[in-house]
Amino acid sequence: MFIIQSYPLAVIFCLITMFCWGSWANTQKLASKSWGFPLFYWDYTFGIILLSLLVGLTMGNMGSEGQGFFASLKQASLNAILLALLGGVVFNIANLLLVAAIDIAGMAIAFPVGIGIALALGVTVNYIATPLGNPALLFIGVALVVGAIVLDALAYKKISKGSASTKGIVISLAAGILMGFFYRFVAASMSEDFAKPVAGLMTPYAAVFIFSIGIFLSNFLFNSFFMYKPISGSKVSYADYFKKGTSKLHLIGILGGAIWAIGFTFNMIAAGKAGYAISYGLGQGATLIAAIWGVFIWKEFKNAPKGTNRLLSLMFISFIAGLALIIIARII
């Protein structure tokens, strides 16, 4: 299996995670005009499974170090498998709740509340479990990134209409808490030594694949609920998935899931050298990438009121400074 041997390469893999996690939603944006999110989400799920399997069969079987993809799956203990499956279930409900919160409260409230909590909680939980890196630099960096997310929210609030409901904020809080824990469940199913895996625990390639199965299985409960009881818009059915879905729409959804899965797989691979807290923290800097898409590609702030550009500038500065501190926390 492919194993990262240097910290700089681990950082590069985490930055790829940032780009992937901050970019996959563009596919949903492309499909949203003619395809309800619950229907898109099924293809998104298929994309995660297919990509995790592809990476497992290729990178997971590459080289002579570690343990092959199928060998890792075969020797995995029931406890390890259940942990990875649980990670998929928790991530799935968190992701769907976050989307629901955005529909109710808007991006300006739901995203900073949800992702801000997920970032702070996720880094804390993973650092306690595996304390790698300078804690002062790491958590100052996390604080700066959370601050940047708040600035991003203030900027979005200037161009958004309406006000957030209590229901939307509560759902955002729930999404953030769940999103902060899913990573730890998957990490707990993996051996900390990738080159010489502990018996019963999995390699990152096997763990991510089992995680994707957890997403798929829980989709029949969670996503079905959002199909028939939508937060906004009309309800959709399984028949709609087959009748209304074009090849293009299905491919867009699968691409979205594949992009997210590349980011997650690379993040778990990088964690072997960077540590889970730093790896997760850098990955959740994806909000920076999402903001770049919104500002420079989708032109969401083209007609924004006075003062918005200053907020965006401070947001980018805070993000870059925070991410830099998270990176060097493993060096100093």
pLDDT at 249 over 90: yes
Distances 235 to 160, 225, 227, 229, 239 between C-alpha atoms, Å: 25, 10, 6, 6, 12
pLDDT, residue 61, reads: 97
pLDDT, residue 164, reads: 58
Burial, 220: exposed, middle or buried (Cβ in 10 Å; 0-12, 13-18, 19+)?
Answer: exposed
Distances 176 to 54, 115, 120, 309, 312 between C-alpha atoms, Å: 29, 6, 9, 27, 23
Q: Alpha-carbon distance 115 to 177, whole Å?
A: 9
pLDDT, residue 73, reads: 98
What tokens appear for 141 in the block? 């960096």
pLDDT, residue 14, reads: 97
139-172, pLDDT tens digit by residue? 999 999 999 999 998 898 888 766 556 888 899 8
What does the mean pLDDT of the chain come to?
A: 93
User: What is the average pLDDT across 245-270?
Assistant: 96
**Res. 301 pLDDT band, cuts 50 70 90:** confident
pLDDT at 119 over 70: yes
pLDDT, residue 109, reads: 76
**Res. 266 pLDDT band, cuts 50 70 90:** very high
**Res. 177 pLDDT band, cuts 50 70 90:** very high
9-62, pLDDT tens digit by residue? 999 999 999 999 999 989 988 888 778 889 999 999 999 999 999 999 999 999
pLDDT, residue 161, reads: 66
Residues counted in the chain: 332
pLDDT at 137 over 90: yes
